[in-house]
Amino acid sequence: MHFFKAEGAGNDFIFFAEEAVACRPQEDMTPWGRYRFPSPGGKAGAAPKDEKSHRKSGEAAEDAKNCREEDKTPEDEEALRQWVAAVCQRKTGIGADGAVFLSPGGASGYRMQIRNADGSAAAMCGNALRCAGLLLFHLFGLFEARIFTDSGERQVHLARPPRTPGAEAVVCASLGIPRVFFPPASLPEKSDLREATFISVGNPHAVLSVSPEELTSPSLPEKAAALSAAVPGGVNLEFFTLNDDGSASVRVFERGVGETAACGTGAVAVAFFLRESRAHGAFFPRRIRMPGGVLEVSFSGDGQAFLSGPCRLSFEGELL
């Protein structure tokens, strides 16, 4: 099974894209020359000898319909969860914060299904969405694309394409309209989550303002794990401090993963909190500084959030 490894501001993912590739003619040129994805019975980069040497897009799309996520039995789901968790293991697998499956998504788009590092399903991931945009450029030369997620349709476009296959690019993605939601009534009375703002960016986040000293505390991961466990189903946590230049420094703890170098939807959640509070200046696009890099968040007049930042394809290979 062929895979690609990509990262956005240090938030890294394993991509499986055979279904998406099967729906494109292999004669297509990519930004790097002739088609790079391994073809059946051939080498990577080899063009097919004739029309019969590859499946037609209609046939591949029909195959995709027969393997939807919702059709899986509980046994299938558990097997997939365990397989993804093993592949994402840092020391015994490929290693990643999550796995992403790209498949045909209609006449002019792609379907993206996301799994956290522990194998659990995720409805949305901002950096995975941006990395998917870079992969589609890498494979097909697409500068923009429609991507369908479990949180709805999203748009991605390359603001700055890479100069070589492994070079850094800047990719922008739309992430819908964030919204505040009420925390669960079951929260413990003295929990710090009582002070958090709960924000949905297609997935749930709890945003907490902390002191610079607490932000760098080595005990923060343990605290974050306890806070997330107090929410039924878990929650992504963002701890932030505001800087003099209007940027925010953030540490993020993702459910199903743990602390990550960056989180795209988490960056949007923090920026949305600052926008709505109106107490921290009107700096937009807002720069969100995370351990893996800087992400920028802006909003349209109707409240749509847009996330941009660095992305890079690290390597590709075959899973034995």
Residue partners of 4: CB distance under 8 A and separation at least 6: 14, 15, 17, 135, 138, 313, 315, 316
CA distances for 58 relative to 62, 64, 317, angstroms = 6, 10, 27
Distance CA 7, CA 26 (A): 26
pLDDT tier, 69 (very low <50, low <70, confident <90, very high otherwise) = low
What integer pLDDT is reported at residue 38 of this predicted model? 58
Take residue 156 and report the two structure tokens written for it.
Answer: 């991605």
Residue 52 pLDDT: 34
219-271 residue pLDDT tens: 999 999 999 999 999 999 999 999 988 899 999 999 999 999 999 999 999 99
Contacts of 122 (CB under 8 A, 6+ apart): 98, 114, 115, 116, 150, 203, 256
SS3 144: strand
CB 163 within 8 A of CB 177: no
Least confident of 58-62, 150-154, 251-255, 312-316: 58-62
pLDDT of residue 107: 66
**Gyration radius of the chain's alpha carbons:** 20
Q: Which residue has the tokens 């303002």?
A: 209
> What pLDDT digit, counting tens, does each position of 127-177 carry?
999 999 999 999 989 999 999 999 999 999 999 999 999 999 999 999 999
Count of CA atoms in the C-beta half-sphere (13 A) of 223: 17
Q: In the predicted model, what is the mean pLDDT of the chain?
A: 86
- Using DSSP's 3-state secondary structure scheme, residue 188 falls into coil
pTM, two decimals, is: 0.87
Distance CA(161)–CA(159), nearest Å, equals 7
Q: What amino acid positions are annotated as catalytic residues?
A: 125, 263
Q: Phi and psi at residue 142, in whole multiples of 5°?
A: -80, 125
Q: Which of 101, 17, 16, 21 is nearest to 54 (CA)?
A: 21
